[in-house]
A and B are shown apart, each in its own frame.
Chain A
Amino acid sequence: MSDPSTPAPGHAGSDVTSGQPGNVILEMRDITKEFPGVKALSNVSMAVRRGEVHAICGENGAGKSTLMKVLSGVYPAGSYDGEIHFEGRLVEFHNIRDSEHAGIVIIHQELALIPEMSIAENIFLGNETASGGVIDWLSTRVKARELLARVGLQEEPDTKIREIGVGKQQLVEIAKALSKDVKLLILDEPTAALNEGDSQHLLDLIAGLRAKGVTCIMISHKLNEIEQIADSITIIRDGRSIETLRVKEDGVDENRIIRGMVGRDLESRFPDHTPKIGEVFFEVKNWTVRHPSVPDRLVAKHSDFFVRRGEIVGFAGLMGAGRTELMRSLFGRSYGTYVEGSIVKDGKELRLRSVADAIDAGLAYVTEDRKSLGLNLLDDIKRTTVSARLSRITKGFVVDDRQEYNYAESYRKSLRTKAPNVDEGVAKLSGGNQQKVVLAKWLFTEPDLLILDEPTRGIDVGAKFEIYGIIQRMASEGKGVILVSSELPELIGLSDRIYTISEGAVTGVLDREQADQESLMRLMTRRTPGGGDRSRESA
Chain B
Amino acid sequence: MDKVKKIFGGDTRQLGMIFALVALIIFFQIWTAGLTLTPDNVINIFQQNSYILVLAIGMVLVIIAGHIDLSVGSVAAFVGISVAIAMRDWGLSWWLGILFGLALGALVGAWQGLWTAYVGIPAFIVTLSGMLLFRGANQYVGKSNSVPVSDDFQVIGGGYLPEVGPNTGYNNLTVLLGLLLAAGIVYGALRSRRALVKLGAEVEDAWVMWVRLALICAAIIAATLLFGSGRPGTSFPVAGMILAVLVLLYGFISNRTVIGRHIYAVGGNRHAAELSGVKSKKVNFLVMMNMSILAALAGMIFVARSTASGPADGVGWELDAIAAVFIGGAAVTGGVGTVVGSIVGGLVMAVLNNGLQLKGIGADATQMIKGLVLLVAVAFDVYNKSQGRASLIGLLMRNARGRGGGDDVTPPPSAETETAPINESIRQSS
Contact = CB atoms under 8 A, between A and B. Distances in A.
A401 B278 CA distance: 19
Contact of B423 (A38, A355, A375, A397): A38
B420 interface: yes
A37 B428 contact: no
A388 B276 contact: yes
Contact of A398 (B195, B257, B387, B418): B257
B277 A401 contact: no
Contacts of A255: none
Contact of B264 (A355, A376, A419): A376
A458 B335 CA distance: 25
Interface in A360-406: 365, 367, 372-379, 383, 387-391, 394, 397-399, 401-402, 405-406
Contact of A37 (B278, B412, B422, B429): B412
Interface string B263-283: 011001101111111110000
Nearest to B394: A36
A373 B429 CA distance: 17
B192 to A, nearest CB: 9
Given A37-B412, A61-B424, A376-B264, A427 B277 contact: no
B419 interface: yes
Given A37-B416, A377-B268, A378-B264, A418 B277 contact: no
Contacts of A433: 422
B428 A405 contact: no
Contact of B261 (A38, A383, A418): A383
B277 A354 contact: yes
Contact of B269 (A359, A372, A418): A372
Interface string A298-340: 0000000000000000000000000000001001101000000
Contacts of A428: 419, 423, 425-426, 429
B256 A399 contact: yes
B201 interface: yes
Classify the secondary structure of A's interface with B: mixed
B398 interface: yes
B389 interface: yes
A512 to B, nearest CB: 30
A349 interface: no
B118 to A, nearest CB: 15
B277 A388 contact: yes
Given A375-B269, A387-B261, A356 B277 contact: yes
A429 B271 CA distance: 20
A373 B272 contact: yes
Nearest to B260: A399
A365 B256 contact: no
Given A399-B258, A402-B199, A387 B265 contact: yes
Contact of B335 (A61, A378, A420): A378
Contact of B419 (A63, A401, A424): A424
Classify the secondary structure of B's interface with A: helix
A428 B416 CA distance: 11
A379 B264 contact: yes
A40 B421 CA distance: 10
Interface in A36-54: 36-38, 40-41
Given A35-B426, A427-B425, A390 B272 contact: no
A239 B271 CA distance: 34
B388 A429 contact: no
Contacts, number: 139
Point out which of A356, A390, A421 has the most chain B C-beta atoms below 10 A from its C-beta. Answer: A390
Contacts of A61: 423-425, 427-428
A145 interface: no
Given A37-B420, A390-B261, A428-B423, A375 B272 contact: yes
Interface string B100-113: 00000000000000
Nearest to B331: A378
A535 interface: no
A17 to B, nearest CB: 25
A430 B425 contact: yes
A449 to B, nearest CB: 15
Contact of B336 (A378, A389, A391, A401): A378
Nearest to B334: A378
A38 B426 contact: yes
B368 interface: no
B86 interface: no
B415 interface: yes
A441 interface: yes
Interface string B388-421: 1100001000100000000000001001111110
A427 B279 contact: no
Interface in A205-239: 239
A375 B201 CA distance: 26
A398 B249 CA distance: 12
A66 interface: yes
Interface residues of B, number: 44
A376 B273 contact: yes
Given A63-B427, A375-B272, A377-B269, A399 B261 contact: yes
A373 B278 CA distance: 13
Given A376-B268, A399-B257, A428-B423, A354 B279 contact: yes
Nearest to A391: B258
Nearest to B271: A373
Interface string B359-373: 000000000000000
A489 B195 CA distance: 48
A421 B258 contact: no
B259 interface: yes
Given A374-B275, A376-B273, A402-B199, A38 B264 contact: no
Interface string A239-253: 100000000000000
A27 to B, nearest CB: 22
A376 B422 contact: no
Contact of A35 (B279, B388, B415): B388
A486 interface: no
B277 A389 contact: yes
A60 interface: yes
Contacts of A66: 427-428
A525 interface: no
A290 B416 CA distance: 49
Nearest to A366: B275
A355 B274 contact: yes
A302 to B, nearest CB: 25
Contacts of B335: 376, 378
Contacts of B426: 35-38, 40, 428
Interface in A417-457: 418-421, 423-424, 427-431, 433, 441
Contact of B272 (A38, A332, A374, A389): A374
A157 B393 CA distance: 53
A322 to B, nearest CB: 18
B120 to A, nearest CB: 14
A405 B199 contact: yes
Contacts of B336: 378
A129 interface: no
Contacts of B195: 402
A401 B416 contact: no
Given A36-B389, A65-B428, A390 B258 contact: yes
Point out which of A35, A365, A383 has the most chain B C-beta atoms below 10 A from its C-beta. Answer: A35
Nearest to A406: B199
Contacts of A421: 415
Interface of B: 10, 195, 199, 201, 256-259, 261, 264-265, 268-269, 271-279, 335-336, 387-389, 394, 398, 412, 415-420, 422-429
12 contacts: A35-B427, A36-B426, A37-B419, A60-B428, A61-B425, A358-B277, A372-B272, A379-B265, A397-B257, A406-B199, A419-B419, A419-B422
In the A-B complex, the 8 residue pairs with the closest CB atoms:
A61-B424, A376-B268, A420-B418, A40-B427, A428-B425, A356-B277, A418-B422, A388-B276
Given A40-B427, A365-B275, 9 more contacts: A36-B387, A36-B388, A60-B428, A334-B274, A372-B271, A378-B269, A378-B336, A424-B419, A433-B422
